[in-house]
Structure 1
Amino acid sequence: MSRIFGAFGAPNTAVELNAVAGRQLHGGRDGTSVLRGDTWSLGCNRLAVLDPCGGAQPYRCPRLPGIAVVFDGEIYNHHQLRRRLRARGHVFTGTCDGSVLPALYAEYGTRFAEHLEGMFTIAVIDLRRRPLLVLAADDHGMKTLYYHTGPDGSVRFASELPGLLAFGQVPATERAAALDEYLSVGTYVDDRTALEGIRTLPPGTTALATGRDGLRVQRRTAPLPASDGPADLGDLLYGEMARLTSADVPLCGVVTEGADSHLVNAIATRQLRELDDSPLRGFHVVYRGRWHSSVCAAARRSGTLHHDVLLDPDELVELLPRTVWHLGQPHADPAAPGRYALFRAIRGAGYTVALTAAGAGELFDGHERVQRALTTPPELPWIGPYLDSLASVPRTVRASLYSADYRDYLRFRGTAADRLAETLHAGRADRAAALSAVETGWRLPAHQLRQIDHVSTAWSVEARFPYLQPAVSAFAGSLRARPATGDTPLFTTAQRYLPAGTLRRSARSTDVTADELLRPGSALMDLAQDILRETHLDERWDRTAVSNLISAQSRHPAPDTAAALWAVLVHELWRQELRVLRPATVHLSLPEPVAA
């Protein structure tokens, strides 16, 4: 795994590239390297997971020196690809997964990513004829790549937003509509970010640039799943995880309260015991003074060597700003700082790879909001309640937080919730497909995977996602057309792999909530009062409403009030970090609405 960066169609100085690398160093401390020409550059900060003594990036092809590649992630089918490419005459000197990429590109050109199984963002420079930049992202968006296209057609990219902003030509202009997206739907719509002109490479896409016309993003055709494979979730997971537990560095598991987490860790424990009789160590974050769940007991019954990461809520005064910086843009999930602390503990215990159950809820319709939307009778509204469940701030609260100018802007433009409602309404004939498009195609990569990617690599830990492997996600897709009956396939499978009594059908979430953290008199509440009573609040807020929000939470704490206050606090902490990153160019422009 690595953090990657580069530019195409414009020169970059060594000083500038070193600045980009420096902002991403935490994601790969095992070596930094940069390759550059007159109008292009490729660089990476490497975290050595496979072939630690080899595998240096950028990768080159001995037969075709005009090809150079950097990549972030893991290629799980690299052994099969290496055998195929050797049969075609290619020579490899190491066993690192990424070493197959230049040869694979040489054989298949811009369609090379169609042959990959894994999690990745990849950048290829092809100088054999007309210089060409090729970028590719995995099918689920497990790894993130931010990019900016300049007015001259040049492209600059990096794995993290602070890294991208180290390029002097990339502006740090806040996008006007982003605030409403952040509060209304919990993340940013499509491939957009909080900043104007900066986008993320969408899942399942390959993008091309020649240095003149910017970046042309193309969606790849999803590969068809093999028809002769096992049609059982347990068998599929067991086969896929045999690849995911392969690493030349220590591996552990992330433990949560769900059946999805316990199933992954139980299978991993079995596989590790078959290899060397060593247990899987599982890590779970617990807030000091909070109720204790049954997670520890369930994890131990599944065979995991359990470890609780005890976190003091007062530590969030230090952790929250750091988490905001690493996420690169506002993210209103109160559990994010805890996950940041979790991966800190994982790295501190000597582990470099962590298995997670992320994506299981989206793929197997395990979230309560999806089940409610699917089971709502046709004569009753389901789109509005579903959108309310996605919001960072309740609809009744967020409009009151906006300034008069911003409300006027949204009145002309339309809110993010309104636009998403129109999309869902257009797909109402197939409610399950419409919800899946939102949950797996957009919210999963933008809201969950991006958060895990950034808070894990903040501590040089590689998070892996068994449920997002091709065979498992294809199996989940085949179930969507079937009506829900009784327990989900995931819960039923977990019962087979875990001792009786390990799982509960109704488990209380162990994620901490905003009202638990923003308690009157707490250190975090003091921070909120200090930050949000300063004079440089975002002009899109109604200052009186924000002040009233602080007073209300101080006098009469309530979940909705705390959620709104948390979201505002995170946004303003992010704006402070942005001013430090780019003090000369941070500004906000509200464009005039354009008539249709």
Structure 2
Amino acid sequence: MCGIVSIVRPAGLRDAERGSLLTAMRDALAHRGPDDATAEIVDGWAALAFRRLSIIDLEGARQPLHGETDDVLCVFNGEIYNFQDLRARLEALGHRFTTRGDGEVITHGYEQWGDAILDRLEGMFSFVLVDRRRARILAARDRAGIKPLFWTEIPGGLLLASELKALLLHPEVRRVASGPGLDLGLVRMHVPWPLTAFDGVYRLPPGAALSFDRASAAPLVRRFAPIAPAAPQRAPSVPPPALDASASSAPPDLLDRAEHEVHRAVARQMVADVPVGAFLSGGIDSTLLVTLMRRLSGEPLHTFSIGVDRADDDESEVARDTASRLGTIHHELRLDTLAFEDLAELPALYDEPFAETSALGVRALSRAAREHVKVVLTGDGGDEVFGGYDTYRMVAASALARRALPRSLADRLGKAALTALGRGAPDEHTRRALRLAALVGMDAPAAHRSLLSTLAWCEGAPALAATERLSELVAARAAGPLAAGAHAAPGARSPLSATLTEALRAALVADRLERLPGAMLTKVDIASMSASIEVRVPLLDDALVRFADALPVSALVSPGRGKLLTRRLLERLLPGGPAWHKKRGFALPIDAWIRSAHAPLEALFHAHRRVLRDLTRVDATAALDDLLRGSPRYSAPTAGMRLLWLATVALWSDRHRVTQRSDSADLDALVV
């Protein structure tokens, strides 16, 4: 895990870009790579710079990496988990390697297969490669979007980096807010790819590559990995979904295959020349990983968890019991309160507004882990791959209801529920019931768009127009066969199994496509790397994801229970463990915190009232007043989070001196 920077200027790099500026941009990422720092100028027009966190081949594998000759050079961030297989193939073809590291397969693979190397790489990665013979740049990001890569055009050139803070040091990067980025952030509470909070600065999408030819001097972004999984061709026989599937069982052969695939993913992600630990939350995913890690390793295993005082959210006792059963060296932190001063750390970490407060917990946990290990495995991605969120159960239940009700009645019910949601629900139970009723009135693609949006708080604001447009674009590219049943003749009905499959696949794709890389993986990468810790996510292993995508959704989710397969697998591997526990997530009580400590937030909004209106078109002071008065319109759990988002916008605008907004971003052109 490392930090990478590249400056590309076809007419020739300027003096500072060869020296002091390049060094400053590289060293802005020192936290990502405290072990080594290098840079290389390629033929006077491209610069590659690198900060290293040494994980494999500690003394070798210095970057930039070279191929068989000096014609191909690369800086690389992440891990290639199938590097041993690729290396063996390339050696059989005559390639000679000079390191034991994993990244060298990128340069040799490019020499052998060209851009098709992207189809062969499995892992978490972002890289920038220079092909000297063709005077060409190739940059890429892994399929799941685990490792970030940001880029922007400057007059006569191109910049790329692992974090925004490196790009922002270049004097030609404009500090103007992206209007669509902030509008979308107000709904999502993070800025989704391909945008950032800065106009003209972009995230490379997951599974995408950027190419740049010196002659044409124009970047071209294309997708090398499909945006949605192919429909299963031949799937194992799985019992049909029941309202509560906890008592039913999966076929033994399916559990055997699942165990093999998860075991393989964990084994190849434990490869390192430094100590490896795990974040153990007490939930299903992290418990499953730690159970297999103990089987695979004869070394002492360090596990790390966070405890909170609120009984409804605290899984620390479960984590403690699991650690005791498995014999790990367990470390527990307590993190219960959110101080106003903590908010300023979010835009400082992420260099843009970001309202995932659990990032502060990830950073604290990473700092504690760094005292014992350099690599940790986490269960992130398990919910999106194996169907763990309550939303999926709601989609399953709504699909059954939509199938049972006359079409006209389902449509009227959905419209009435949407209207009621727009007025605001008095409590969480009512909101969930209305959301379920709204989903009953939607076909699968519409439900997909609804899941990408958020039905609360900012109806009528520009944010909804932006998020709806992005949702339509993503749905158009992602749905494909998912939309097959959407245009049937009036009154026509597809089989119940097809209805359920279509709805659940759309829900799983929606989360894997945007929120997972945009919020969850971004949160973990930046927060953990701020403590110089490499986080690996075995449940997003490429081979494991392909296995899960080939399963019928009834193996994953029922209207009464989610994550069926991994629950049953954990029950097999750790009887009496938390396999059938209710899902609980770590979240700070934002609304309660705002009500009890609103004075500094009120002062912040008052001082930034004009700039917030200019940047977001929202009156944050009025919104805070409504929440404090208990207005039903602001009763949704996300209302407090959106106020928190606005607070991070204000703090971000101060930190980066951003006072102007541009609406020039063309979503139609940017979504690939």
Short-chain TM bin: 0.7 to 0.9
Whole-Å separation in 2 of the counterparts to 1:257 and 1:557: 36
Whole-Å separation in 2 of the counterparts to 1:178 and 1:439: 18
Is 1:80 the equivalent of 2:85? yes
Whole-Å separation in 2 of the counterparts to 1:359 and 1:109: 30
2:376 to 342, 354, 364: 354
2:321 to 279, 282, 297: 297
Whole-Å separation in 1 of the counterparts to 2:350 and 2:342: 12
Give the direction of change, closer, same or farther, for the CA distance of 1:367–1:302 in structure 2 (3 Å limit): farther
Shift of 1:421: 6.2
- 1:42-61 counterparts in 2 under 5 A? 42-61=48-67
- 1:576 aligns to what? 651
- 1:532 aligns to what? 605
- 1:354-373 counterparts in 2 under 5 A? 354-373=376-395
1:443 to 515, 539, 542: 515
Shift of 1:71: 0.3
- 1:135 aligns to what? 139
Is 1:498 the equivalent of 2:574? yes
CA contact (8 A) 1:3 1:44 kept: yes
- 1:462-501 counterparts in 2 under 5 A? 462-482=534-554, 484=557, 488-501=564-577
Q: Secondary structure at the match of 2:179?
A: coil
CA contact (8 A) 1:321 1:573 kept: yes
Shift of 1:554: 5.3
Deviations 1:559-588 (A, max 9, x none): 84774344334444345345544x4x7521
Shift of 1:138: 1.2
Paired AA for residue 529 in structure 1? E
Whole-Å separation in 1 of the counterparts to 2:513 and 2:159: 25
Paired AA for residue 356 in structure 2? D
Give the direction of change, closer, same or farther, for the CA distance of 1:454–1:388 in structure 2 (3 Å limit): same
Is 1:336 the equivalent of 2:387? no
Whole-Å separation in 2 of the counterparts to 1:176 and 1:445: 21
Shift of 1:519: 4.6
Deviations 1:377-414 (A, max 9, x none): 2254415887777667x62x3248x6xxxx5xx69xx3
Whole-Å separation in 2 of the counterparts to 1:86 and 1:389: 47
Give the direction of change, closer, same or farther, for the CA distance of 1:323–1:285 in structure 2 (3 Å limit): farther
Is 1:509 the equivalent of 2:577? no
Q: Secondary structure at the match of 2:349?
A: helix
Is 1:21 the equivalent of 2:26? yes
Whole-Å separation in 1 of the counterparts to 2:618 and 2:523: 31
Paired AA for residue 564 in structure 1? A
- 1:564 aligns to what? 639
Give the direction of change, closer, same or farther, for the CA distance of 1:529–1:387 in structure 2 (3 Å limit): farther
Shift of 1:22: 2.4
CA contact (8 A) 1:518 1:562 kept: no
Shift of 1:472: 1.0
Shift of 1:437: 2.7
Alignment gaps of 5+ in structure 2: 235-252, 411-437, 486-501, 668-672
CA contact (8 A) 2:56 2:273 kept: yes
Q: Secondary structure at the match of 2:344?
A: helix
Q: Secondary structure at the match of 1:232?
A: helix
- 2:285 aligns to what? 260
Whole-Å separation in 2 of the counterparts to 1:345 and 1:481: 38
Give the direction of change, closer, same or farther, for the CA distance of 1:338–1:388 in structure 2 (3 Å limit): farther
CA contact (8 A) 1:537 1:572 kept: no
Q: Secondary structure at the match of 2:355?
A: coil
- 1:234 aligns to what? 259
- 2:347 aligns to what? 324
Give the direction of change, closer, same or farther, for the CA distance of 1:508–1:104 in structure 2 (3 Å limit): closer
CA contact (8 A) 1:145 1:158 kept: yes
- 2:218 aligns to what? 214
Shift of 1:458: 1.0
Q: Number of aligned residue pairs: give it.
A: 569
Paired AA for residue 139 in structure 2? L
Shift of 1:419: 5.1
Alignment gaps of 5+ in structure 1: none
- 2:596 aligns to what? 520
- 2:273 aligns to what? 248
- 2:488 aligns to what? none
Whole-Å separation in 2 of the counterparts to 1:301 and 1:173: 53
- 1:416 aligns to what? 467
CA contact (8 A) 1:335 1:513 kept: no
My pick for the range that moved more, 420-429 or 187-196, is 420-429
Whole-Å separation in 1 of the counterparts to 2:78 and 2:152: 21
CA contact (8 A) 1:185 1:387 kept: no
Is 1:192 the equivalent of 2:215? no
CA contact (8 A) 1:398 1:564 kept: no
Q: Secondary structure at the match of 1:34?
A: strand
Shift of 1:26: 0.9
Whole-Å separation in 2 of the counterparts to 1:289 and 1:375: 30
Give the direction of change, closer, same or farther, for the CA distance of 1:415–1:83 in structure 2 (3 Å limit): closer
Shift of 1:45: 0.9
CA contact (8 A) 1:532 1:569 kept: no
Whole-Å separation in 2 of the counterparts to 1:326 and 1:399: 30
1:160 to 160, 163, 167: 163
Q: Identity of counterpart residues, as a percentage?
A: 24
- 1:75-154 counterparts in 2 under 5 A? 75-128=80-133, 130-150=134-154, 152=156, 154=157
Give the direction of change, closer, same or farther, for the CA distance of 1:193–1:541 in structure 2 (3 Å limit): closer
CA contact (8 A) 2:353 2:652 kept: no
CA contact (8 A) 1:257 1:509 kept: no
My pick for the range that moved more, 421-430 or 35-44, is 421-430
CA contact (8 A) 1:137 1:203 kept: yes
My pick for the range that moved more, 201-210 or 356-365, is 201-210
2:175 to 154, 172, 175: 172
Paired AA for residue 534 in structure 1? A
Give the direction of change, closer, same or farther, for the CA distance of 1:543–1:144 in structure 2 (3 Å limit): closer
My pick for the range that moved more, 157-166 or 435-444, is 435-444
Give the direction of change, closer, same or farther, for the CA distance of 1:473–1:18 in structure 2 (3 Å limit): same
Whole-Å separation in 1 of the counterparts to 2:605 and 2:293: 45
Q: Secondary structure at the match of 1:64?
A: coil
Shift of 1:353: 0.6
Paired AA for residue 135 in structure 1? A
CA contact (8 A) 1:283 1:307 kept: yes
CA contact (8 A) 1:186 1:390 kept: no
- 1:269 aligns to what? 294
Taking structure 2 as the reference length, what is the TM-score of the superposition?
A: 0.77
- 1:531-550 counterparts in 2 under 5 A? 531-535=604-608, 536-540=610-614, 545-550=619-624
Shift of 1:460: 0.7
Q: Secondary structure at the match of 2:60?
A: coil
Paired AA for residue 123 in structure 2? G
Shift of 1:538: 1.6
1:311 to 308, 325, 335: 335
Deviations 1:529-574 (A, max 9, x none): 3322214532247999422443455566998477434433444434
Whole-Å separation in 2 of the counterparts to 1:399 and 1:106: 52
CA contact (8 A) 1:249 1:352 kept: yes
Q: Secondary structure at the match of 2:95?
A: coil
